[in-house]
Amino acid sequence: MAGLVLTRMRLAGGVWEGLLSGRGELPPLRVRHRDQLVAEPEAEAVAGGWFVRFRLPLDRLSDGVQTFVIEDASTGDALAHETIIAGDAAEQDLSAEVMLLRAELDMLKRAFRRHCAEG
């Protein structure tokens, strides 16, 4: 259905929650992980749309990057997604990001010192 927007609200206690807004009726929703159906979200009508929630399936959580896609079951259109990063992959990614930020900060410090020395 065109015009539907699913806005992520929070992830708490393993339950994903969002607000689906737009015109028309509530479409059938489903959650996929690696092209497999893993859940059918609950939805209840609220002012301005529908409150949508689903429990992350614990058997799908493991080391690495896991992405869950919430989609309109009638069209297959992706409405939202949730990405979970866990284990060694997360630690390595964060370490690499921190190293990159440190290198950029050092470069900025050198450029700033050069600028101050010239002025």
Backbone phi, then psi, for 43, in 5-degree steps?
-140, 140
pLDDT at residue 89 tops 50 = yes
Under the banding of pLDDT at 50, 70 and 90, the label for residue 1 is very low
Above 80 in pLDDT, residue 98? Answer: yes
Residues 6+ apart with CB under 8 A from 6: 18, 19, 20, 52, 70, 79, 80
Within the chain, residue ranges assigned H as helices are 88-118
CA contacts within 13 A on the Cβ side of 52: 28
Give the span between the Cα atoms of 58 and 38, in whole angstroms. 11
- The pLDDT of residue 65 is 84
For residues 67-85, average pLDDT = 92
**Does residue 19 contact residue 42 with C-beta atoms inside 8 Å?**
no
For residue 2, pLDDT beyond 60? no
- 1-85, what's its fold? Immunoglobulin-like (2.60.40)
Domain ranges of the chain: 1-85, 87-119
pLDDT band at 23 (very low <50, low <70, confident <90, very high): confident
pTM, two decimals, is 0.72
What integer best gives the mean pLDDT of the chain?
89
pLDDT given at position 90: 66
| 52-73 pLDDT, tens digit each | 999 999 999 988 888 999 999 9
